[in-house]
Structure 1
Amino acid sequence: MSTNRAVRIHGKNDIRIEDLPIPEPQENWVQLRMSTVGLCRTDVHLYDEGRVDHIVINKPITIGHEISGRVSKLGQGVTDLNVGDRVAVDPLRSCGGCHQCSRGRSNICRQLHCSGVLHADGGFATYMVAPAKTCYKIPDNMSMEEGAMMEPLSVGVNGVKRARMVEGDVVVVMGAGPVGLFAMQAAKALGASRVMMVDINPKRLELALKMGVSQVFKPTVHLSNPKAASEELKAALGDEADLCIECSGAPGVVDLAIHSCRPGGKVMMLGFGEMAMKVHVGMAAVREIDILGSFANLHNYPECIRLVSEGKINVRSAITHRLPLENVMDGINLVRSGESVKVVINCDDC
């Protein structure tokens, strides 16, 4: 194929499938033939709004940051990869020299690039290029679909690790979307004694049970009364939570998480909805409840690949829809409607 078929967002409600030149790898980079790429709600926000918070589409970009592919060409200096290697691609590219990078927090680098989101083309294409150091070989017992799920799984793993979950903790995960399902499994794999999944969608809760959650809970008390809602949750749990992981982004859920924690507990925010919200921060302060945030991932791909390849985490069950590249708009509509859990795009035939 002499062209690179790619899904490009030009701005709000402006998505185009275009034929571009095949990109060539620079020194220490590789060219990748795309295989499976996951569709994320971030991609939908970029299409619907032309932005995600401070990230604004000011020039066309190829979207797709949940990436798997095969190495198709090596740039000069690449020695750890070979043509034909199957890889999962970490979309984050940090500068390596700023204040945050020098302190081991490269995921919040001020000059961060993110394939398919910020300053760099992503994976909804026939080919892309990426730094070799961001490409992680996946073992033979993992599929390319599973490889694409390393990005959302790494978000869940990063949240659990940044929350400093202690082995034996009681964990409540709020929101049974892809990141919530993966955060739930990460908490179990990393030592939680029990994990409850909270959601209002019965089908999502059924899926959580199939994926190994300890128990599920569908709230009936409205979140306008967070204390009463938390009492209902804690009664179902039979305990207070050591750690609440908020993955829904829905209004009021962070406040529910604060009220559901025991003194000295933690709230981890993974599902960012409203940037400004009304929560009982003072109550969290006097009960020494830590409110934490986590962005993307911090070098978690090797651990994620290990957990999946060893059968400790099941990412494949979250995939509900598989579509060709030409039908990416159908995928966006599925994500927007809530009918899907995880949509993946097959780029092998594009």
Structure 2
Amino acid sequence: MSTNRAVRIHGKNDIRIENLPIPEPQENWVQLRMSSVGLCRTDVHLFDEGRVDHIVIDKPITIGHEISGTVSKLGSGVTSLAVGDRVAVDPCRACGDCHQCCRGRPNICRQLHCCGVLHADGGFATYMVTPAKTCYKLPDHVSLEEGAMMEPLSVGVNGVRRAGMVDGDVVVVIGAGPIGLFAMQVAKALGASRVMMVGKSMLKTNSFKALLEHDFSYTDINPKRLELALQMGVDQVLKPTVGLSDPKAASEELKAALGDEADLCIECSGAPGVVDLAIHACRPGGKVLMLGFGDMAMNVHLGMAAVREIDVIGSFANLHNYPECIRLVSEGKIDVRSAITHRLPLENVMEGINLVRSGESVKVVINCGAC
């Protein structure tokens, strides 16, 4: 093939499949023949809004950051990989020199490039190039589809590690999307004594004021996602009935179903009011981990967290977690394949965007050609 078919976003509501030159790897980089690439809600935000918060599409970019592929060409100096190696790709590329990088936190590098999102082309293409150090070889029995799921899985691993979960913790995960399903499995694999998955509504509101006026409800929770959570090993599920205009009352329903208070609440929904619910659901000294991001400005009762010494912790991307993710999947401790509900060819990426937007899918994987 003499051209590189790529899905490019040019701005809000402007997505195109284009024929580009095949990229050549520079020194210490490799060229990949792309295989399976996951479609993330971030990709949908980039299409719908032309931005994700402060990240604005100011020039065309090839999207796709949940990446697997096969090494097709080596740049000079590459000795860690060989042509034909099957790899999962960490999309984050830190500068290595800034304050955060020098202190071992490259995931929050001020100069961070994230291929498919920020400053670098991603994986929805026939070919891409990436630094060799971002590629992680997959064991023979781990598929390329599973390799594409290492990125969302790494978000869960990084978050649970950052939250300092310990053996025996009681964990509540709110939101049964891909990140929630993976975070739930990570918590169990790393020693949680019990994990409950709480469904969240697909209804979206634009502000906390709207939440209060309309008593944001849970009536349209997707029951299939809770069923999937049970299939993937969660101990119990809860479909709440109490609206979030009264987070304390909603937390009482949650704690009654759990039969306990939580040591750790993992918020994966980004829905308004859920952080407050999580704070109330924790025992004193507990922790709230924010993996789902909705509105950047929130009306949250942090004073309640402060007086009960509840830590509210943010987590972003991953921190050298790919080897652990590959090990957990390779050893059968985490099932990522069951989260994949739809598989589409590259030309049908718009169908995939609609599936993610509608909530019909859990995880959509785009087949870029290689296998």
Q: Aligned to 1:313, which of 317, 334, 338?
A: 334
1:330 aligns with 2:351: yes
Contact 2:266 2:290 in 1 (8 A): yes
1:119, distance to aligned residue in structure 2 (A): 0.2
1:279, distance to aligned residue in structure 2 (A): 1.3
Alignment of 1:154-233 (within 5 A): 154-199=154-199, 200-233=221-254
2-structure distance, mates of 1:114, 1:335: 21
1:349, distance to aligned residue in structure 2 (A): 6.3
1:109 aligns with 2:109: yes
Equivalent residue number for residue 211 of structure 2: none
4+ long deviations beyond 2 Å: none
1:139 aligns with 2:160: no
2-structure distance, mates of 1:70, 1:133: 15
1-structure distance, mates of 2:303, 2:187: 27
Contact 1:201 1:218 in 2 (8 A): no
Equivalent residue number for residue 12 of structure 2: 12
Structure 1 segments unaligned to the other structure (5+ residues):
none
Once the two structures are overlaid, the 10-residue window that deviates more, 117-126 or 275-284, is: 275-284
Structure 2 letter corresponding to 1:225: D
Equivalent residue number for residue 294 of structure 2: 273
Equivalent residue number for residue 29 of structure 1: 29
2-structure distance, mates of 1:201, 1:145: 24
Tell me, what secondary structure is at the counterpart of 1:288? coil
2-structure distance, mates of 1:333, 1:283: 39
Structure 1 letter corresponding to 2:243: H
Report the aligned-residue RMSD: 0.8
Contact 2:240 2:254 in 1 (8 A): yes
Tell me, what secondary structure is at the counterpart of 1:264? strand
2-structure distance, mates of 1:348, 1:188: 34
2-structure distance, mates of 1:36, 1:240: 40
Tell me, what secondary structure is at the counterpart of 1:231? helix
Residues 69-123 of structure 1 show CA distances to partners (whole Å, capped at 9, x for unaligned) of: 0000000000000000000000000000100000000000000000100000000
Structure 1 letter corresponding to 2:71: V
- Over the matched positions of the two proteins, sequence identity in percent amounts to 88
Equivalent residue number for residue 295 of structure 1: 316
1-structure distance, mates of 2:232, 2:124: 28
Equivalent residue number for residue 260 of structure 1: 281
TM-score, with length taken from structure 2? 0.94
Equivalent residue number for residue 96 of structure 2: 96
Equivalent residue number for residue 76 of structure 2: 76
State the aligned residue count: 350
Contact 1:33 1:127 in 2 (8 A): yes
1-structure distance, mates of 2:101, 2:235: 37
